[in-house]
Amino acid sequence: DAGITQSPRYKITETGRQVTLMCHQTWSHSYMFWYRQDLGHGLRLIYYSAAADITDKGEVPDGYVVSRSKTENFPLTLESATRSQTSVYFCASSGGEGTGELFFGEGSRLTVL
């Protein structure tokens, strides 16, 4: 099915472990984004990508790493998870300039113990 999918939907890990959240979209959208959602903060941008091999920091990038070797994939890695990274993570995509709409994945709930 066309769309944007995230995996895993739920993940529990321990402090210090590496975690990768996957994101795949089938629309060939040029722009992809990672947001985290926390109560009282809304959605905050972690990283975004304008195209394959082009990524840039958002508002809260510390502790996260992204890559985009293919247009359709945009994984987010927490290299050494901390409790403050417990959150719901959303991947999203957009066709870019002029299209004006952001399409979201279903979210990944990450708990760091």
Partner 1 sequence: AQTVTQSQPEMSVQEAETVTLSCTYDTSESDYYLFWYKQPPSRQMILVIRQEAYKQQNATENRFSVNFQKAAKSFSLKISDSQLGDAAMYFCAYSLFGNQFYFGTGTSLTVIP
Site for partner 1 in 34-63 (CB under 8 A): 35, 40-45, 48, 50
Instruction: Say whether residue 22 binds partner 1 (CB under 8 A).
Output: no
* Closer by beta carbon to partner 1, 29 or else 112: 29
Shortest distance (Å) from residue 19 CB to partner 1: 19
Output the CA torsion sign for 82, 84, 85, 86.
Answer: positive
Nearest to 48 by CA among 68, 64, 32: 32
* Member of 28, 62, 69, 97 binding partner 1 (CB under 8 A): 97
Contact 8, 24 (CB under 8 A): no
Instruction: Say whether residue 99 binds partner 1 (CB under 8 A).
Output: yes
- How far apart CA 5 and CA 28 sit, in angstroms, is 13
Instruction: Say whether residue 101 binds partner 1 (CB under 8 A).
Output: yes
Kindly determine how many residues on this chain lie close enough to bind partner 1 according to the rule CB under 8 A: 26
* Tokens at 17, concatenated: 């472990």
